[in-house]
Every structure is written in C-alpha cells, then in structure tokens.
Chain A
C-alpha cells in the first residue's frame, strides 16, 4: 500500500463495470433534466447516452433513458438517488443482456461520394432497416435503427465509404410482451 499523505483514505480496488440502461419517468417541468444529469455529474456517475422526450402531455410526463456503466454498488446508488428526486415517478433498470427488453437507437448518416460508394454504403446498412431520407447525385442521408454497438460498428465501417456526418439519438428501451414496468 502506498503511504497515505492525506486526510482521506486511499481508494480501494474497483469492481467490474457493467452497462445498464436506466429509464426514468419524470414530471416534465423546467430544470428536471438538469436535476437528473446534475446528479450523475455531481456524484461522478457515467452517462454513455441520453434520450429524453415528453411521452404524455396530459399527465405532463417525460421519459429519460440513460445508458450508464458502474459497479453493481454504483448502479444501485444511481437508482436510489434518482428515486429521491422530487419530480421522479419511477425508475427502471435494464441490462443489455436482458432478453425481455428491446433496445433501439436511431442514427442519421450522411455519405458523400460517387454512386458506387453510395450503393456500397446502402448495402452495408441493409441489416438495420435503412431508409433513404435524402439523395443527390453525390450524397445520401440514410436513417438506420439498430443496437448501439451495431451503430458503433457501422459508423466505423462507413468512414471509408464517405461518411461525413453522424447524428444519433441515444438508446431507448421498451419491455417485450403485454406487461409494462410499474
């Protein structure tokens, strides 16, 4: 052990990090996103992606989906701390391996190049429900929906085919079957 020269203890070994998808239902009021995000930054938690929008204008509810990594203890803390926020209604926690949950992310990809490259790009996107949103003779904007890591892969692969701009939504999640998360 290194000699501590501080009034605080030395850090102990960090545990294994898991990726979790945290879904938070909140009152859609001003500052609520800052509260959620501020909690993460203030306590040193990770945010890998963040998706947020109003889902029920009558009940004034928004749904925030956050992809985060942490040790099991940290993930537990994230959930408990979120539940303490006054505008938070409920908090769900899913893992990537969870078979009962669908995860999806959308991306817009702009490819600039000749028709051969554009064709190759479209081909490469085939597995991910590509939709052509805009096309000129030297460019195309493709929309794909896929898992985060697939989009990661695609953006890497398309670089050589003329990918010049990427816009991603961040992951959203929904349980399979008839049940909803209470």
Chain B
C-alpha cells in the first residue's frame, strides 16, 4: 500500500510533477482545502489577483510569453463564471491554460447549493476539454491528462472541476506516465510527398507569399528560427497575422507588414495578386480574408497547420500539410537543400518582378499619418515608444481597439513571444492582467501594456496585484476619451452618430496610479513625450502613463467589410488623392 494523499495534496503533487511554478488565483469556500495546502509547497508561488478574469488573462500572458501552460485556481460559482471570458479568449487564441475550479461537495451537486453552478456545462464550449472529478481515484490521472490536453496539438484551455469533498478525500498518487496516444488526438505525421509537392509549387511560383500566424509562435522558438531560414533560402515576401508578429523580424526587408483589415497596403495587395500563398500556422480568420469570394483569387493555396479542422474550414486549399510548423518547415528546408535547387539565386530572378511590384505598393507608405506639433498623435506615441524601447528586450501586451492596431502597425517585433494581444475574441481588459502574467514570467524584463482608456478600466483593479508583487508593469494608455474603434465605425458607417462611445467622467489616471501605490505620468504635448517615456521606463515600479492623444484620429489603412484585399481605404491624405467618394465610404 502506497501512501494516501488528500485531493488537495494530489493537486499540488501533480502541479509539482508538471513543473508548475506559478498559479494565478482567488480563494473561496469551495477551494479552501487546496488553499490550505498551498503552504506546504514552496516551489509553487500563488499570485493573488483581484478578479478571476484577471487570473485567467494573467495566466494567458504568462503562457504566451514563456511557452509554458498557465495555471488558474478559482472557487465555485462566481469564481468559475468570472474566468469564462479568459477561457474563451485562450480557446480562440490557442493558449494553453489549466484552470482548476472548486465545486460544491458531490452530494450537493444539482441542488442549487450556495455558490453552485454547472461549471463543466458552462465551460464546455470554451475549453478543449473539461472534467468534473466525482471520484478521488480519478484525480491524479485527470490532472495529468489536463496538462497533456492543454499543451498538445493545437494548445488551448482545459478545466478541472473538483468538488470540496474530493479535495478532502484520500487516495494513492500516480506520477504522469509517458502518455500513449490520446484517442488518436496526437497529430498524424505529414508525408514526404506533401513536402515534395510544396517544394514543387515553390520552385514554379513567380509571385509567392508566406502568410504566417500564431501557429509559428505556438510551435516554439525553434519554429521562428526555421521560418527565418526558410525565408532567406527562398527570398519570398512574408506577411504575418496579428498573432504571428515577432515570428519574423518586423524590420527585415523581406517582411511586408501585417495583413488583414488594418494591414499594410503592400501585404494585402500581395495577398490578392500572388500566385502561391503559403499559410503557415494561420487560420484564414475573417479579419484577414475580407470577402471570401474574392480572396486571393489567382493563387494556389497551401495550408500548414497542426489542427486538421482548420484546413478547408474557410478557404479551400490546394495542398494541406497537417503537422507541427517547426517540423514541416524543418523538413521543407532539408529537402530544399538536398535538392540543391539553388533557389537563392534562381528565385531572385524569377520573383524579381514580383518584388518590384511590392516595392511600388510600399511607396504608398500606407501606415503614414499626418503628425502634429500641438497634439500627440497615437501612432506617433507608439513610434516613440518603439524607438525608445527597441534596444531593450521588451514585452508588449495590448487591450483591444484602435490602440491595439496602432501597436501592431508601428511597433516592430523581432522575437517571438514578445507580443501578447487578444485577437480571436477581442477581449477589452486583456492587456493589464496579461502584463501582470508576463512580468511574473520575466521579472527583469520591460513589460508594457499599450492600452486604451476604455479597455483598461475593465480590469484596472489588477494594478493592485502588480503593486502587491512588485511587478513594474507599464500601462501606456493612449487616452482619446472614446472607445476609439467603436467611434471610428460609427463615423464611417453610422453617419457620425457617436452613440454611447464617449466616456464622460474618466478618472484622473495619475491620481488613480497614486491611489494604487504606483506612479502616474501624464503627457499632453508631443514635445514632452520622449522625456516622459524615458521616465516611465526608468521607474522600477508599476506605472500608469496617461498619454492624451488626438481623440479624432482613425486607424488606417483598412479593408472595408465585404471588400477584397485590393480595395483598401487609406488614410485621409491618400484618400483625397485617390478620390474615394462618399459612395465608397458608405460601403465600409
């Protein structure tokens, strides 16, 4: 007979065996036995958040910046429902999370007990899998399986719901076993033939493009290195989705910028006109494709993805390669080298016309904006932030809205795992708690949340968490007093009826910072910006930076909805040149 452990002890033994260092959580009645056990496990540090949604986003930030799964611990009922937004966010953006929730004792399940809710029912559509552990003997296996499911294949969130009596009950502990296949869930190997077909397409193409996504980041740092090698070997232009930024250096000449709704003119036009589109770890999201019927009409399409259900979901492809991005690229590079196609030289000629065309598009300088001496333009603020932080290893998180797009457009990322943003779900309030999680994973690094004043107020309470654990996160608010993206859509679509998109009675962010015990900085003039940003970077404390920007600035370029990639709306200056009329605007 082995030693018997309580359910709470088993939870921690599993976490230790899974090498978990941090958990983000909030105590409550139904998880008290687990919280009681915390003191006996010094290798695991608990970060006390101020709201369970914050715990979820912090764990996401931790996971995305470290490549390790994030662990969340919440109580039953409201604890579990509060974390649902973060779980859904992680599900949409493929972030590995393991959420442990307390549940009322098994004999009370189904009786509408205090703080009871159907947690596994509620979280079923927003997790890869979830478990309600009704038998203590299942707990060790379920805990290990939870980590396995969260981190294998296309990563995602899982939830383990543990009733309070199970936390007290005792059983033997079993270590994680080298897992055999999970009902065949581990990915089937792609074939050599697939790779050969890909190389064949690549060697014939005259207008190729790599369209890369978050799958490259999720595949690990090696995948980014391999992607760089593949790009330099082929000389192909490369564009990236919002989630893929950083997998390829943003300042490299082969990089033609982000694509999609607020992507660059050159990236979107290249997507439209290319003859070979190689999707690496992206999923043809509707913010990327625009009008499906007219999406990249002249191209052969290749899709490399670890998730078979991503293939042909939205766009029919000519060649699909199901597998881990790093493995597929590695195999492609090996084959390319073996074949000795000498692509570097032969390709340069073949695709030189294509590059000429791309250069022409580039001269549009679609990210340009009209700067001002009197008022801070939000794009200028992001540019200054980038210039002043690009030589330090900086981690950027964002909230959701205009500021997020400006950050994506004007901040150039050179390494993977440095950019944490809510893409699929578009969760306002993501960035601040995510920054907390990133700073926990990287205590010595500079972590900046490029925020909007509306978004950040949704989770502002987590400043208290940052202060408690001395996490010197920088909340860089582009304060335009509007829900900017809502305002922009209302301007373009709803005859400037700015219905409820103006936040009257905003707090004084400097005083708010002081109230939380951190540092508040305000900038109102473009001339002061550099000095104040330097000040922010140099403070070894959490900072709320109230950067008051032009409230009427819009985010351009953009693809109006229902339009293909080659019909972009450019910034006002260009719009005048191109004479986009009122009629064109109505089509946005």
Q: Which residues of A contact B (CB under 8 A)?
A: 1, 3-10, 12, 27, 30-31, 34-35, 38, 42, 73, 76-77, 80-81, 83-90
Q: Does B527 contact A (CB under 8 A)?
A: no
How long is the Cα–Cα vector from A153 to B125 in the complex, in angstroms? Answer: 37
Q: Does B291 contact A (CB under 8 A)?
A: yes
Given contacts A1-B562, A4-B562, A31-B120, A12 and B293 within 8 Å (CB-CB): yes
Question: How many whole Å from A66's CB to the nearest CB in chain B?
Answer: 17
Query: Which chain B residues border A30 with CB–CB below 8 Å?
Result: 132
List 6 additional contacts besides A4-B560, A6-B561; criterion CB under 8 Å. Answer: A7-B561, A31-B132, A35-B124, A84-B307, A85-B129, A88-B183
Q: Is the CB of A89 within 8 A of B183?
A: yes
Q: Does B78 contact A (CB under 8 A)?
A: no
Q: Is the CB of A34 within 8 A of B291?
A: no
How long is the Cα–Cα vector from A12 to B292 in the complex, in angstroms? Answer: 8
| Chain A residue nearest in CB terms to B153 | A84
Tell me which residues from 465 to 500 in chain B have a Cβ below 8 Å from any Cβ of chain A.
489, 493-494
Q: Does B251 contact A (CB under 8 A)?
A: no
Q: Is the CB of A77 within 8 A of B309?
A: yes
How long is the Cα–Cα vector from A42 to B123 in the complex, in angstroms? Answer: 12
Q: Does B286 contact A (CB under 8 A)?
A: yes
Q: Is the CB of B493 within 8 A of A5?
A: yes
How long is the Cα–Cα vector from A89 to B290 in the complex, in angstroms? Answer: 36
| Chain B residue nearest in CB terms to A72 | B312
Question: How many whole Å from A11's CB to the nearest CB in chain B?
Answer: 10
Could you give 21 example pairs across A and B, Cβ below 8 Å?
A: A3-B587, A4-B560, A4-B588, A6-B493, A7-B489, A7-B561, A8-B286, A9-B292, A10-B562, A31-B120, A31-B132, A35-B124, A42-B125, A73-B313, A77-B312, A83-B184, A83-B308, A84-B128, A84-B307, A84-B309, A86-B185
Q: Does B182 contact A (CB under 8 A)?
A: yes
Q: Is the CB of B124 within 8 A of A38?
A: yes
Query: Which chain A residues border B489 with CB–CB below 8 Å?
Result: 7
| Chain B residue nearest in CB terms to A7 | B561
| Chain A residue nearest in CB terms to B126 | A42
Most chain B beta carbons < 10 A, residue from A5, A10, A27, A81? A5
Tell me which residues from 5 to 53 in chain B have a Cβ below 8 Å from any Cβ of chain A.
none
| Chain B residue nearest in CB terms to A77 | B313
How long is the Cα–Cα vector from A12 to B295 in the complex, in angstroms? Answer: 12
| Chain B residue nearest in CB terms to A76 | B312
Q: Is the CB of B561 within 8 A of A86?
A: no
Q: Is the CB of B309 within 8 A of A9?
A: no
Top 8 nearest A-B pairs by Cβ distance? A80-B309, A4-B562, A86-B129, A42-B125, A9-B562, A4-B561, A10-B562, A80-B308
Q: Does B149 contact A (CB under 8 A)?
A: yes
How long is the Cα–Cα vector from A80 to B320 in the complex, in angstroms? Answer: 14
Q: Is the CB of A9 within 8 A of B129?
A: no
How long is the Cα–Cα vector from A43 to B588 in the complex, in angstroms? Answer: 27
Given contacts A34-B124, A77-B313, A86-B129, A3 and B586 within 8 Å (CB-CB): yes
Query: Which chain B residues border A34 with CB–CB below 8 Å?
Result: 121, 124
How long is the Cα–Cα vector from A139 to B305 in the complex, in angstroms? Answer: 61
Query: Which chain B residues border A8 with CB–CB below 8 Å?
Result: 286, 561
Tell me which residues from 429 to 476 in chain B have a Cβ below 8 Å from any Cβ of chain A.
none
| Chain A residue nearest in CB terms to B293 | A12
Given contacts A86-B128, A87-B183, A88-B183, A9 and B308 within 8 Å (CB-CB): no
Question: How many whole Å from A108's CB to the nearest CB in chain B?
Answer: 31
Query: Which chain A residues border B129 with CB–CB below 8 Å?
Result: 85-86
How long is the Cα–Cα vector from A38 to B130 in the complex, in angstroms? Answer: 14
Digit string of B558-588 for contact with A (CB within 8 Å is 1, else 0)? 0011100000000000000000000000111
How long is the Cα–Cα vector from A115 to B129 in the complex, in angstroms? Answer: 56
Tell me which residues from 110 to 144 in chain B have a Cβ below 8 Å from any Cβ of chain A.
120-121, 124-125, 128-129, 132
Query: Which chain B residues border A10 with CB–CB below 8 Å?
Result: 562
Query: Which chain A residues border B312 with CB–CB below 8 Å?
Result: 73, 76-77
| Chain A residue nearest in CB terms to B313 | A77
Q: Is the CB of B124 within 8 A of A31?
A: yes
| Chain A residue nearest in CB terms to B494 | A5
Most chain B beta carbons < 10 A, residue from A3, A42, A81, A88? A3
Q: Is the CB of A86 within 8 A of B149?
A: yes
Query: Which chain A residues border B308 with CB–CB below 8 Å?
Result: 80, 83-84
Q: Is the CB of B291 within 8 A of A9?
A: yes
Q: Is the CB of A81 within 8 A of B309?
A: yes
Question: How many whole Å from B152's CB to the nearest CB in chain A?
Answer: 11
Question: How many whole Å from B190's CB to the nearest CB in chain A?
Answer: 16
How long is the Cα–Cα vector from A8 to B588 in the complex, in angstroms? Answer: 10
How long is the Cα–Cα vector from A87 to B149 in the complex, in angstroms? Answer: 12
How long is the Cα–Cα vector from A86 to B131 in the complex, in angstroms? Answer: 11
Question: How many whole Å from A142's CB to the nearest CB in chain B?
Answer: 39
Question: How many whole Å from B295's CB to the nearest CB in chain A?
Answer: 10
How long is the Cα–Cα vector from A170 to B312 in the complex, in angstroms? Answer: 30
Query: Which chain B residues border A73 with CB–CB below 8 Å?
Result: 312-313, 316
Tell me which residues from 286 to 320 in chain B have a Cβ below 8 Å from any Cβ of chain A.
286, 290-293, 307-309, 311-313, 316
Query: Which chain A residues border B132 with CB–CB below 8 Å?
Result: 30-31
Query: Which chain B residues border A4 with CB–CB below 8 Å?
Result: 560-562, 587-588
Query: Which chain B residues border A87 with CB–CB below 8 Å?
Result: 183
Most chain B beta carbons < 10 A, residue from A7, A31, A85, A90? A7
Query: Which chain B residues border A77 with CB–CB below 8 Å?
Result: 309, 312-313
| Chain B residue nearest in CB terms to A9 | B562
